[in-house]
Amino acid sequence: MLNQTPPPGTNGDAPGAKRPPSNLTRERVLDIEHFTDKLFRLRTTRSPTLRFQSGQFVMIGLEVGGRPLLRAYSVASAHYDDHLDFFSIKVPDGPLTSHLQHIAPGDELLVGSKPTGTLLLGNLLPGRRLYLLATGTGFAPFASILRDPETWERFETVIAVEGCREAAELAFADQTVRDVLEHELLGEMAAGKLLFYPTATREAYRFQGRITDLIRSGRMMRDLGVPDLDPNEDRVMICGSPAMLAELKTMLGASGFVEGSSATPGAFVIERAFVER
């Protein structure tokens, strides 16, 4: 159904322009950064009506064949930024990403107006250390969470972990961590509290291996100089490969970690919105 009154901040009211469905706004692409032949970051304008919490996702997409084609994407920018960032894979025959990977500054992107998701600080009980465990584009929501001052107020230590096949794929996470540490205000809050553990699974790198194996063996904690995982002190957010989510959920459950939700905060949260991709 088409909305006859376009929401403010969209260009749906330009003469002759087609209006997006009522739950979408049309944003403009401001900037694209390609990290590898498989990964890129997309920056768009942000409707002033869009409010979201760090860690949430929205539906984004393009009109393909005259119809909106949408997928869930975590917002990677901060809740206070006036732009939106998204971190995407490029799948050559992917229904959306085969088109999205060719998007250029000035192009239009459809953005949903109903952010949602489970990777919220409020879904976690108070704790000392926050682990952000991601593979691939699963790091996107953590780029938002790392830019939220509340994260640094709530936790003594924040451990950002990104697992990818190849070292070049770690660039987005690496850039995010550097941005946070160099940021005038966040940098001060994060100094001495932010630990970064980028790991590659299919080539030689400073840290190597799957996140699951590195936790199970205790190698990650030894490398970082932090205690073993403790459900009384550690809080965990997980986003990425479905196989990793399933394995980590079992591992954490066996160690006494209880999954949190907006109804009942817990010791860990998982984002399952992307498991179909």
Q: Which is nearer to ligand A2P, 31 or 203 (CB)?
A: 203
Q: Which is nearer to ligand A2P, 193 or 210 (CB)?
A: 210
Nearest-approach distance from CB 241 to ligand A2P, in angstroms: 4
| Residue 243 phi, psi (nearest 5) | -65, -40
Biggest alpha carbon–alpha carbon distance for the chain? 62
Other CB atoms within a 10 A radius of the CB of residue 68 amount to 16
Do the Cβ atoms of 63 and 100 come closer than 8 Å? Answer: no
Q: Which is nearer to ligand A2P, 157 or 201 (CB)?
A: 201
Residues in the chain: 277
Do the Cβ atoms of 35 and 171 come closer than 8 Å? Answer: yes
Question: Can you give the binding site for ligand A2P, defined by CB under 6 A?
Answer: 135-136, 163-165, 201-202, 210-212, 241, 243-244, 247
Q: Which is nearer to ligand A2P, 93 or 184 (CB)?
A: 93
Nearest-approach distance from CB 136 to ligand A2P, in angstroms: 5
| Nearest alpha carbon to residue 141 among 258, 255, 52, 220 | 52
Q: Which is nearer to ligand A2P, 160 or 189 (CB)?
A: 160
Do the Cβ atoms of 143 and 101 come closer than 8 Å? Answer: no
Q: Which is nearer to ligand A2P, 140 or 190 (CB)?
A: 140
Transcribe 225-255 into DSSP letters: T-PPP-TTTEEEEEES-HHHHHHHHHHHHHT
Nearest-approach distance from CB 118 to ligand A2P, in angstroms: 19
Nearest-approach distance from CB 20 to ligand A2P, in angstroms: 31
Sheet strands side by side (includes 129-135):
194-200, 157-164, 129-135, 234-239, 268-270
Nearest-approach distance from CB 272 to ligand A2P, in angstroms: 15
Nearest-approach distance from CB 138 to ligand A2P, in angstroms: 8
